[in-house]
Amino acid sequence: MKRGLFLLSAVFAVSLCAAEESLIRTLENRDLKVSSVSALPDGTLEYTLADGKVKTKIRSGNYLYAWVPMPAEVSRADAFLRNGSFAQAAAAYKAAYDKYKLLGWDLYCIAGESEALAGLGEKEEAVKRLDQLKNYKLQNMRLIPHLNRVRRLNARLCIELGKYEDAMPILNEMSSGNDDSNAAFAFLQKGNILRRKGELKEASLMYLQAVLLFGKIPERPEALYSLQSVLTELKDPNAAKFAAMLRKEYPDNLYTRRLSGASGEKK
The one-digit pLDDT tens for each residue of the chain (267 residues) are 444 444 444 444 443 443 478 999 999 999 999 999 999 999 999 999 987 788 999 999 999 999 999 999 999 999 999 999 999 999 999 999 999 999 999 999 999 999 999 999 999 999 999 999 988 999 999 999 999 999 999 999 999 999 999 999 999 999 988 899 999 999 999 999 999 999 999 999 999 999 999 988 999 999 999 999 999 999 999 999 999 999 999 999 999 999 876 654 433
Tell which residue, 130, 101, 103, has the closest CA to residue 115: 130
- Measured distance CA(177)–CA(200) in Å, rounded: 26
Q: How far apart are CA 259 and CA 152, in angstroms?
A: 24
Q: 112: part of which helix (H) or strand (E)?
A: helix 106-119
206-230 core/surface letters (b: 16 or more CB in 10 A; e: else):
bbbbbbeebeebebbbbbbbbbbbb
Residue 261, pLDDT score: 67
CATH 3.50.50.60 fits 2-210, yes or no: no
Tell me the residue ranges of DSSP E strands in 30-168. Answer: 31-39, 45-49, 55-58, 63-67
∠ CA(31), CA(36), CA(38), 5° rounding? 95
Cβ of 194: how many Cβ atoms within 10 Å?
20
The pLDDT, as a whole number, for residue 7 is 43
Q: Give the three-class secondary structure for 151.
A: helix
Q: Residue 66's beta-bridge partner residues?
A: 24
Order of strands across the sheet that contains 55-58: 55-58, 45-49, 31-39, 23-26, 63-67
> Residue 262 has what pLDDT?
60
Q: In angstroms, how far is the first alpha carbon of the chain from the final one?
A: 21
Predicted structure pTM score: 0.85
Q: Could you tell me which of 164, 168, 130, 132 has the C-alpha nearest to residue 150? A: 130
Rounded Cα gap, residues 145 and 7, in angstroms: 12
**Residue 70, pLDDT score:** 97
The closest of 171, 174, 226 to 200, measured between CA atoms, is 226
